[in-house]
Amino acid sequence: MNPKKKKVAIVSASGCRGCEHAILNVHHQVQSFSRWIDVVYWPYLLGSDPDELDALESIDVCFFAGAVTTDAERSMAEKLRSKSDVMVACGACAAFGGMPGLANQKKNGGAASSEDAAAPHENDEALLPKREHRVSSLDQVVAVDYVIPGCQPTQSLLWAGIQALTSGPRSQSKLSFAAARLPSGLAQAVTAGTTPPKGSYFAGDKAVCASCSRVKEEKKFESAVRPYEKYEESGRCLLEQGLVCLGISTREGCGGLCTGVGQPCRGCFGKPEAVYDPGAKMVSAISSTFASEDKTEIENMAAVLKDLTGTFYRYTLATQCALMDKE
Amino acid sequence: METITLEPLRWQDDPSRITVRADDSNVDVYYQVTSPKSVEAICCGRPVEELPRILPILAPAHHLTAALALDRLFQVEPPELAQNMRTALLQAQYYAAHLRKIFFLLTSRQDPFADFHMARRDALPPKVTKRVLERIMHHAALAQEAEDILGGRRDHPLSAVTGGVSRYLKDGHYDRLAEIGDALLTFAQELAELMRTEIIADGGMLAPWADIEIPALPGLYLASGDQPTLSDPKGGAQQLNGEQLGDTIALQEEKWTYQPFAYLQSKGWQGFEQSQGIFHVGPLARFNSGQEAATPMAEEERQRIIECLGAPPSFKLSAAFGAMVVEVVQAAELLQIHGSKESLTGPVLRNIPKSRGTSTWAALEAPQGLMWHQYEVDDDGIVQSVRIIDAHCANNGMKCLLAKQLVTAAMERKLTPAAMKERASVALLPF
């Protein structure tokens, strides 16, 4: 082990492996990592076992992906936190609970019964980690220093995060391509090769609408539609077309990836700093963009909008819904 | 009672481990998935048109399966352009997924992050150099770029929508897809040669694992692209009704794992060891079906693999990786066909539906194996129930059997837990 290199852990709790694959795919060569970091713990790729984690004295940077759904994942997060100088929530599940967090709408976090959720599966066979009553983001379990949001995080922001947090002043890269999408303070730190301020998001600080390529005509929509009901080639703002798009309540950084493909934003970067609750922001945005003042028309429009909780908080129900019990 | 835990198993999509409990007379082996996925809780209550954007948390190809289910629910036929774009996306997924597993295999006996010159050079065959490993990852990245172009994003694609796709490609995309297609096909042939001669052949890299016998179970696959079929390893095949696959296949929950076991309802469930109803899906099941490959170069490669390994069915690890090699070549050829400018241009990219049913299903042959979806929706198109059969549950019983067999043999040979874990990780990698 080269003492000059930073010791890095990469772990995943409940999720889809998408974030780990995104790290694996950074610059398409996993071996290039070895130039400046030692990956000392990565269960998925290296098969690192829990004893190896116990044996590690310290970790410089831990990238933690996935939501916390079991007691084993909780204790792993706590152990990693206690050993890591820097803890990074990587991806929407670790940052906000992600789509697994939608299970919090159901009693006991989606477990078949309260007994399944609460009791360890202890019998005369083998013990299974105990499922928790609710799905949690990483920062609901331990303190988090940095966030790389997205489902999965974009390559440029992930690369910026990894380099900024692991290479430090020795970095040979100036990262201008990624810095262009970061808030100025963070971009300056990244390009200067200094460690960014704790609490930073490796993403923008405005809303997705600020970087969306679609044309906003400031026109109000007259009726809400569901995505399968309409297709318009115009390149107009999707919300102005009557489609529920969360761009206005979502932190930028992706460059309007989904809207560029003709699909409404679903908020995988979480809310921008200036927004208190993404759902409330969406209610406000839709109310001010809908043209009618007629009660019946408003009721008809509201009837088209389905599953507001699952839509407005697709990735953030566990953490950013002000009305949701977070305990 | 002695307990050994082999945790974690490398490269498994689901966090998983093997727990061994042994005493003087008995050895119990459990292949355990240790993290729950509450798919039903996540999907129910959502507008059904959102499922293609939600279900890729299980695997990227669930996006396309969900889109197929929506086409059926809304009784709408996607235009040819859209069908080609979806097919091309699926092929890019095949290429990237299989290359990733091949990369994992080739770096299985060393730390992929170690300085290559310091790493265990004896862990790799002479022709598998650092350059080869880098080229595998480079071409996996090219396949992912094709996924980005065709699907909007790679692991969580979003371009397939009810009745078609969500947008036309831009001019630059067509040229780039052509470049990628050529590069992927050239490399697929190069890789196939390397895999056959250095990895799969007698005395190749897989030799230390040559004694591993994958359980000879029936294989479930889509014959001719859309007919669910169950092949019997002793010969013969039975066609199944796609719409009623949910009646044919049941899911068994066990308290010691978060992943249920798919099994054939007609055979019943008598515990995963005794059950006659366990089957498997994936590249090996497709290879063992004996079907010809869909493209000429892939068929030539299939014949070469058969020359090397013998006629299917084969239940060796080398056959499982050989099947992937054939599919890598096939994916590259199909990507060239369906990803060409002619295939991806047309006057219409999606058809707007005029009606909606209340239940739907779809089946797709995905890189990891056959996946099947069934949804029930209410009058507002809100999801009431979701049933999904995919490689995770379909191969779960086989993984348990394989784990038991590996551990029993390893204990007889008095292997250390670390050696047991390495063997198990490699043996389970193709599934």
Do A188 and A212 sit in the same domain of this protein? no
Q: Is residue B424 domain-resident?
A: no
Do A123 and A235 sit in the same domain of this protein? no
- Interface subset of B 145-164, CB within 8 angstroms of A: 152-156, 158-159, 161-163
- Interface subset of A 119-178, CB within 8 angstroms of B: 121, 123, 125-129, 131, 135, 151-152
- The residue among B105, B138, B136, B139 whose CA lies nearest residue B123 is B105
Instruction: Measure the CA–CA gap between A57 and A53, rounded to whole angstroms.
Output: 8
Q: Is residue A321 domain-resident?
A: no
Q: Is residue B272 domain-resident?
A: no
Peptide bond into B313 cis (omega under 30): yes
A293–chain B Cβ distance below 8 A for any pair: no
Query: Over the stretch A117-159, which tens digit does the pLDDT of each residue have?
Result: 544 445 555 689 999 999 999 999 999 999 999 999 998 888 8
- Interface subset of B 274-313, CB within 8 angstroms of A: none
CB B39 within 8 A of CB B25: no
For residues B56-78, give the mean pLDDT.
97
Among residues A137, A157, A192, the one where a domain terminates is A192
The structure tokens listed for B253 are 């929950």
User: Residue B113: which of A33, A128, A135 has the nearest Cβ?
Assistant: A33
Do A180 and A147 sit in the same domain of this protein? yes
A225 CB-near residues (< 8 Å, 6+ apart): A241, A242, A243, A304
Q: What is the pLDDT of residue A120?
A: 46
Number of structural domains (chain A) is: 2
Q: Is residue A318 domain-resident?
A: no
Q: Is residue A200 domain-resident?
A: no
The dihedral formed by the CA atoms of A27, A32, A37 and A38, expressed in degrees to the nearest 10: 120
- Interface subset of A 87-106, CB within 8 angstroms of B: 99-100, 102-103, 105-106
pLDDT band at A180 (very low <50, low <70, confident <90, very high): low
Do A109 and A219 sit in the same domain of this protein? no
pLDDT band at B390 (very low <50, low <70, confident <90, very high): very high
Q: Is residue A218 domain-resident?
A: yes
Q: Is residue A325 domain-resident?
A: no
CB A135 within 8 A of CB A100: yes
Q: What domain range includes position B83?
A: 77-207+296-352
Residues in B closer than 8 angstroms to A231, CB to CB, are: 349-350, 352
Do A18 and A140 sit in the same domain of this protein? yes
B234 CB-near residues (< 8 Å, 6+ apart): none
CB B268 within 8 A of CB B252: no
pLDDT band at A3 (very low <50, low <70, confident <90, very high): low
Query: Over the stretch A247-276, which tens digit does the pLDDT of each residue have?
Result: 999 999 999 999 999 999 999 999 999 999
Q: How far is A139 from chain B (nearest CA, A)?
A: 19
Percentage of residues in chain B having pLDDT higher than 70? 97
Q: What is the pLDDT of residue A171?
A: 52
User: Residue A126: which of B30, B70, B141 has the nearest Cβ?
Assistant: B30
Q: What domain range includes position A269?
A: 208-312
If you measure CA to CA, which chain A residue comes closest to B111? A46
Do A293 and A180 sit in the same domain of this protein? no
Residues in B closer than 8 angstroms to A37, CB to CB, are: 113
Q: Is the ipTM of this complex over 0.85?
A: yes
If you measure CA to CA, which chain A residue comes closest to B67? A228
Mean pLDDT is lowest, of A81-85, A231-235, B71-75, for: A231-235
Yes or no, beta carbons of A126 and B380 under 8 Å apart: no
Q: Is residue A258 domain-resident?
A: yes
Q: How far is B117 from chain A (nearest CA, A)?
A: 11
Q: Whole-prediction pTM value?
A: 0.95
Do A184 and A259 sit in the same domain of this protein? no
pLDDT band at B251 (very low <50, low <70, confident <90, very high): very high
| CATH at residue B131 | 1.10.645.10
Q: Is residue A111 domain-resident?
A: yes
pLDDT band at A172 (very low <50, low <70, confident <90, very high): low
Do A130 and A254 sit in the same domain of this protein? no
Torsion sign over Cα B60, B63, B69, B75: negative
User: Residue B38: which of A12, A73, A110 has the nearest Cβ?
Assistant: A110
Do A149 and A284 sit in the same domain of this protein? no
Q: Is residue B145 domain-resident?
A: yes
Do A101 and A149 sit in the same domain of this protein? yes
Q: How far is A156 from chain B (nearest CA, A)?
A: 14
Q: Is residue B156 domain-resident?
A: yes
Number of structural domains (chain B) is: 1
- Locate all alpha helices (DSSP H) within B152-270, ordered by sequence: 171-194, 245-248
User: Residue B11: which of A12, A44, A258 has the nearest Cβ?
Assistant: A44
Q: What is the pLDDT of residue B122?
A: 62
Query: Over the stretch A275-296, which tens digit does the pLDDT of each residue have?
Result: 999 999 999 988 888 877 888 8
Residue A320 has pLDDT above 80, yes or no: yes
Query: Over the stretch B342-387, which tens digit does the pLDDT of each residue have?
Result: 999 999 999 999 999 999 999 999 999 999 999 999 999 999 999 9
For residues B65-73, give the mean pLDDT.
98
Better-scored residue on pLDDT, B80 or A181: B80
| CATH at residue A37 | 3.40.50.700
Yes or no, beta carbons of A25 and B144 under 8 Å apart: yes
Q: Is residue B410 domain-resident?
A: no
For residues B250-261, give the mean pLDDT.
94
Pairing of strands B227-231, B219-223: antiparallel
Buried b (16+ CB within 10 A) or exposed e, B387-402: bbbbbbbbbbbbbbbb
Residues in A closer than 8 angstroms to B8, CB to CB, are: 43-44, 47-49
If you measure CA to CA, which chain B residue comes closest to A16? B57
Do A186 and A301 sit in the same domain of this protein? no
Yes or no, beta carbons of B34 and A128 under 8 Å apart: yes
Do A61 and A169 sit in the same domain of this protein? yes
